[in-house]
Amino acid sequence: MKPNSKLLQRLRSWMRGRYGQNDTLNRFLNNLALLLIVISFFIRTGWLLLIAVILIGISYWRLFSKKIYQQVAINRGFQRFWSPIVRPFSRLKYQVKQHWQYRFFRCSQCHQRIRIPRHHGRVRITCPQCGHQFEAKV
């Protein structure tokens, strides 16, 4: 399809003034619907499939809604609930990802997390927050 085709121009004009964001809540609804669809293949119950279709419908309703401020407020409320649940897992993912290059320590006084590059032997670590010094093997 050409970038300036009539179909794309009509689609752009139809979407103008609509929410159209794949935000946190929409991604959660779509992933939950996909999970329910996969589970419904194994359990063979129709009500799980019905719930998945309803969740996809809600996601598309939010996507095409013209009440942008309302959808942003709903997403912020969901993020207020969802972020504390996901935050420990994202922190763990960060540490696992950097595990090979860095070693993580905690200051014994202020509990600040300190990241030190690996393979330097024994080093003297100074906490950047409180100035406490301690030795560790990196």
Each residue of 14-62: pLDDT tens digit?
888 888 888 999 999 999 999 999 999 999 888 999 999 999 999 999 9
How many separate helices (H) and strands (E) can be counted in the chain? 4, 4
User: Global pTM?
Assistant: 0.67
The pLDDT tens digits for 50-105 are: 999 999 999 999 999 999 999 999 999 999 999 999 999 998 888 788 888 998 89
**Separation in Å, CA 29 to CA 1, 36, 43, 109, 137:** 30, 10, 21, 42, 46
Predicted pLDDT of residue 1: 60
* Residue 135 predicted with pLDDT over 70: yes
